[in-house]
Structure 1
Amino acid sequence: MGIFSRFRSDDAGSSPDHEIARKNNIHGDPEKATDNSLETRLEDSTTNQLPPHEFAAIEKRVLKKLDRRLVSLVFVLYLLAYLDRSNIGNARIAGMEEDLSLSSPDYQWLLTIFYISYIIFEWFALMWKLVPPHIWAAFCVMGWGLTATLQSATFSFSGMMAARFFLGLFEAGFGPGIPFLFSFFYLRHEIGFRCGIFLSAAPLATCFAGALAYGITSDDSPPIANWRLLFLVEGLPCLVAAVATFFLLPDSPEKASFLTPEEKSVARSRARLQTGKADREIGRLNFRDLGAALLDPKNYITALMYFSCNVSFSSLPVFLPTILSEMGFTRLTAQALTAPPYFLAFLLVILTTYIADRTQQRGLTILILSLVATVGYILLATTSSTAPRYVGVFLAAAGVFPAIGNILPWVLNNQGSDTRRGMGIAMLNLIGQCGPLLGTRVYPSNEGPYYRKGMWVCAGFMAFNALLALGLRALLAWENGRLDAKYGRGGEGMEGEEGVGVEDGGRGFSIRVFRRG
């Protein structure tokens, strides 16, 4: 006899894992689980005899080890990646523009070319499924590390354009696929917070970049140009990080050398909660699931949300030093003043993803954050005095970065298989990363020092993002209502043959989880 547990769409109801937990009584309150229900879920000979409280203790230990090794490693790597992506804004006011004889359109093209290659190679997100993750990640980190370092040796606009193109190519293989990688290790109600920690590296990198640039460019007589030294100091650590990544990054919980055999058994049981399988197959895609993801309207709504946020996400770090310097601050002071707004954003990314995981209200979280950013950009667009404009910078950063951090796990939580999650992330980035093509071109130099048009454009897109979040939340609530009416809230009465499958008819999704024997 088959036992089915339907996965409800995230936000408008309980999380998918909680639905399975309620059905099988092994999550939520481990103390109340029974040995019989635990044995139903665990086929491994090591874990099927464990009392529930021991299973829970081992699971907690597994999560702690995964967080310490996986999350901390990709956090550092993304911090380095974002540092190398956005430091061109600091390099610009540190003398690069004069040394390379760049016009305002030239600088905009240096920003745009990065995102053109980033978009072209968005499909690299699927490589995490096709190539062992530790090999793929090391390749990407080494690639962008070399490219970022070589920016310091460019002497022309064309040379810098080539460097920025390859920087986008290698970073496209890393950042967009990390939330997908997390889905190999964590359950749906655990992914959001980990994505938040990972993505919080972006505002922290921008904060760190401002402080670092201030320290580097404060030297009046450096051995080489300040902007070249900036690229060197921030690019070389990536080469060391690439080697470390090859040896430290696990491919899956089952292959993690830092887990004991007992912990790996618990990890396999957690994999069954996520996909119905104990082990993931690297090197294989399900083409039927690829097609289903392409036809899912939710993927296009989240992609438009990502597009809207990316208009601001791409432009704020690279233009903020210029905006602050044109408020009347010196170049060095402008470098330093970029740090506080991004440190606030760093804290809020972690806090809001944690709250969204606990409350399962990711749509409302994104809605509120988008409105905060909208208010910030309206302040920047309508005021001329320094104090309210700087407050607007805080509000913009505090809304944009956390909103991005909550959109990514929303995609993962509403797809039922590894292939669908990978395709959902690829679609999100393919469409969403077109936003920077606009965002990097809305602050031309001739519109300074207030850049009214660029501020209004960003305000409009963040307001649009709020409407999209509200609309997607309503759609998920409607789909969950249809599934509840057909199958009952826990999916009781759904029966079928032994195996694992995904059901999707434009109404959300379900995962069938079966008991062997």
Structure 2
Amino acid sequence: MGFPSKFARAPPLTAPDFVGNEKASPGLDPEKSSANDEPEAFTQSHQRHVVPEIERRVIRKLDFRVVPLVTALYVLAFLDRSNIGNARIAGMTKDLKLVGNDYQWLLTIFYIAYIIFEWQSLMWKVVPPHMWLAFTVFGWGVIATCQAATQTWSGEMALRFFLGIFEAGFGPGVPYLLSFFYLRHEVGVRIAIFLSAAPLATSFSGALAYGITSGHSHLANWRLLFLVEGLPTLCMVPVAYFLLPDTPDQARFLTEGEKVVAKARGVRQVGGTKRVGGIVWKEVGLALLDLKCWFTAFMYFSCNVGFSSLPVFLPTILSDMGFNAIDSQGLTAPPFFLSFLVTISSTWVADRTQQRGYTIMVLTTIGGIGYILLATVKTVGVRYFGTFLAASGIFPSIANILPWVTNNQGSDSRRGAGIMLLNLIGQCGPLLGTNVFPTNESPRYIKGMAISAAFTFFTGVLAFGLRCLLVYENKKLDQKYGSNDNRVVNQPGAEGQESEVGEENYGPTFRYIL
């Protein structure tokens, strides 16, 4: 299979005319068409072929509209989730009279709600995505802003619980949402850009907290912090509602011809055009029985031990190194900004090489070494360097684990179930991570650092195990369909690229991404 040398074309056509129209008149050679001519798609029976130049244009438009939107919202979500660490050293502990494990419980209650309501990841498939996104953004924006008015520990506990409910409806499901718009070999770096908002938000949070807490206002600095970081979320509600398309072929920013190409990409991804509107429960069950899903779920658990604790405890850790409260806020920014850069670059490399397992193994080794330095070294400079290594290992590892789930599940329902299982198990990691840094172990928190190091290394071990399993599965597919070595795959319209549908609907070119 390859692109035909001539493309059917007739001016002007509606979207259905481009696909499935066997009566289309003979077209012109694209190289001889005028600048305004737009050869779109050619269909022969059930097979879809799209013009590479137009497909690239579709991807570029999605990259400039969808990815920046969800990334900006995740910046706000992570700010609203983790700014409690900055508020703690800005006076919240004293004003709310926090004692003992009160602060740890404020962190834990958020993740309890986050875990209980992980099933909301499937709502992206049930409710039109633009409506679901606006609902969750409004919910957590209201709760985050109300934290500025809380007067008691119990009141803050209730707000943190509801914050966890609404954020569980957003963040965990976005990688699933992005799989509606991108193919397997494209989605990794887009998920990484989305997830890189976490370290970026953390670095921004430190800089913002530095600016807010260094001033003198009539309102307590920590209350002003919650207010300043909560109100922008509410401003994004109408933006989310009107700008997020439910599916690529419904995007208002695409031309009619581009929408057809987008729909053809969806057919290549899942074997059909319907992406939103229902769950196939049989496929959900198959995903829950798939060992690959359990591997990534426990990898996510292990990685989340450090991912959840580092942002909320780093200001305290730096403060206990001897820095004053204001400097501790500012010094959190550089490690997380480096982590942001590593997140983008590592997932780009993994997408290009199709080697997520090796990438995760390298990153978790770096992160584990960082935690070892924090646990064993007393010198302030070396310990601060350890925070760079820990942040540059943990956050990028998360960004590579999530696309590994969507890469290796064939249908939307299976992808959604894989994401749900990933988060149900993986988000239990923060329950451990947020409780291994008790105040009585200040200033070095040796136990917390050692536990974080152990789980970071364990993530790498699990990545190695999953990679071995995928190699074995690919060998079985080679025996069934023949080797892919002589085929060109993962390119639009490539020979043999009939479909990217996997699992029980294998195409001859489908192979698991290692």
TM range (shorter): 0.7 to 0.9
Q: Is the 8 A contact 1:275 1:511 kept in 2?
A: no
Equivalent residue in structure 2 for 1:230, among 219, 225, 231: 225
Alignment match of 2:267 (pick from 258, 272, 276) = 272
Residue 287 of structure 1 and its aligned partner are, at CA, apart by: 1.1
Other structure's SS at 1:450 match: coil
Residue 242 of structure 1: aligned partner: 237
Which residue is equivalent to 1:98? Answer: 94
Residue in structure 1 matched with residue 29 of structure 2 by the alignment? none
- 1:512: how far off? 7.7
1:135 paired to 2:128: no
Query: Shift in Å at residue 84 of structure 1?
Result: 0.3
Change (3 A) 1:268 1:336: same
Determine the structure 2 residue equivalent to 1:485.
479
| 2:120 maps to which of 100, 121, 124 | 124
Amino acid at match of 1:184: F
Residue 73 of structure 2 is aligned to residue 77 of structure 1: yes
Asked if 1:378 is matched to 2:376, the reply is no
TM-score (ref. length: structure 2): 0.88
Give distance in 1, aligned partners of 2:243 and 2:100. Answer: 42
CA, structure 1 residues 92+321, in 2 after alignment: closer, same or farther (shift >3 Å)?
Answer: same
* 1:34 shift after superposition: 3.6
Q: Name the CA distance, whole Å, in 1 between partners of 2:409 and 2:267.
A: 15
- Could you say which residue in structure 2 is the equivalent of 1:332? 326
After superposition, the Cα gap between the structure-2 partners of 1:190 and 1:501, relative to the gap in structure 1 and judged at 3 Å, is closer
Counterpart residue type for residue 252 of structure 1: T
Q: 1:17 — aligned with what?
A: none
Cα displacement (A) at 1:54: 8.7
Are 2:59 and 1:63 aligned?
yes
After the TM superposition, which residues 383-394 of structure 1 pair with which residues of structure 2 at under 5 Å, given as runs? Answer: 383-394=377-388
Identity of aligned residues (%): 60
Q: 1:511 to 1:38 in 2, by over 3 A?
A: farther
CA contact (8 A) 2:41 2:50 kept: no
Query: Which residue does 1:409 correspond to in 2?
Result: 403
Shift of 1:485: 1.0
Q: Residue 35 of structure 1: CA displacement?
A: 3.7
Q: 2:237 corresponds to which letter in structure 1? A: A
Work out the CA distance in 1 between the residues paired with 2:320 and 2:61: 47
Taking the aligned partners of 2:500 and 2:164, their CA distance within structure 1 comes to: 38
Instruction: Note closer, same or farther for the CA distance 1:49–1:470 as it changes in structure 2 (3 Å cut).
Output: closer
8 Å contact 1:35–1:49 — kept in the other structure? no
Q: 2 CA distance for matches of 1:38 and 1:169?
A: 50
The one-character-per-residue Cα deviations of 1:235-293 (angstroms, maximum 9, x if unpaired) are 0001110111001111001110110001001111111210111x224221111101100
Match of 2:163 in 1: 167
Aligned with 2:349 (options 343, 351, 355): 355
Q: Verify: 1:113 aligned to 2:106, yes or no.
A: no
Query: Cα gap change, 1:403/1:38 in structure 2, threshold over 3 Å: closer, same or farther?
Result: farther
Question: In structure 2, what residue type is equivalent to 1:425?
Answer: I
In structure 2, the CA distance between the partners of 1:459 and 1:500, relative to structure 1 (3 Å rule), is closer
Separation of aligned partners in 2, 1:474 and 1:499? 25
**Residue of structure 1 equivalent to 2:150:** 154
**Is the Cα–Cα contact under 8 Å of residues 49 and 264 in structure 2 kept in the other structure?**
no
1: CA distance between counterparts of 2:143 and 2:245?
25
Report the AA paired with residue 187 of structure 2: I
In structure 2, the residue matched to 1:14 is none
The aligned amino acid for 2:332 is T
SS at match of 1:333: helix
SS at the partner of 1:103? coil
2:501 and 2:404 map into 1 onto residues whose CA distance is 21
| 2:179 equivalent to 1:183 | yes
1:144 is aligned to 2:144: no
Answer yes or no: is the 8 Å Cα contact 2:96–2:153 preserved in 1: yes
Pairwise mapping of residues 280-291 of structure 1 onto structure 2 (< 5 A)? Answer: 280-291=274-285
The aligned counterpart of 1:255 is: 250
Distance of aligned partners of 1:445 and 1:503 in 2 relative to their CA distance in 1, 3 Å threshold: closer
C-alpha distance in structure 2 between counterparts of 1:125 and 1:234, whole Å: 25
Aligned-residue offset at 1:491: 12
Q: Say yes or no: does 1:432 pair with 2:432.
A: no
Distance 1:64 1:414, change over 3 A: same
User: What secondary structure is seen at the aligned counterpart in 2 of 1:402?
Assistant: helix
1:441 equivalent to 2:435? Answer yes
Q: Take 1:237 and 1:78, find their aligned partners in 2: how far apart are those partners?
A: 12
Of the three residues 413, 417, 423, the one matched with 1:419 is 413
Cα pair distance change 1:331/1:130, threshold 3 Å: same
- Check the 8 A contact 1:503/1:511 in 2, yes or no: no
**In 1, Cα distance between the equivalents of 2:42 and 2:428?**
52
Match of 2:201 among 200, 205, 220: 205
Q: Which has the higher contact order (CA 8 A, sep 6+)?
A: 1
Residues 130-179 of structure 1, C-alpha deviation per residue, up to 9 Å, x if partnerless?
00000000000000000000000000000000000000000000000001
2:241 is paired with a residue of what secondary structure?
helix
**For the aligned residues, what is the CA RMSD?**
2.3
User: In the comparison of the two structures, how many residue pairs are matched?
Assistant: 470
| Match of residue 451, structure 2, among 449, 452, 457 | 457
CA shift in 2, pair 1:511/1:166, >3 Å: farther
Q: Secondary structure, in 3 states, of the residue corresponding to 1:224? A: coil
Letter of the structure 2 residue corresponding to residue 84 of structure 1: D
Cα distance, 1:64 vs. partner?
1.1
Cα distance in 1 between the residues matched to 2:19 and 2:303: 42
- CA distance in 2 between counterparts of 1:324 and 1:356 reads 33
Contact residue 121 and residue 172 of structure 2 kept, 8 A = yes
Aligned pair 1:47/2:40, yes or no?
A: yes
- Following the alignment from structure 1 to structure 2, what is the Cα–Cα distance between the partners of residues 273 and 501? 7
Contact 2:213 2:221 in 1 (8 A): yes
Q: Note the C-alpha offset of 1:56.
A: 1.4
From 372, 392, 400, the equivalent of 1:398 is 392
Gaps in structure 2 of 5+ consecutive residues = 10-17, 25-38, 487-497, 510-514
**Inter-partner Cα distance in structure 1 for 2:480 and 2:500:** 20
Question: Deviation digits for residues 416-444 of structure 1, max 9, x if unmatched?
Answer: 00000000000000000000000000000
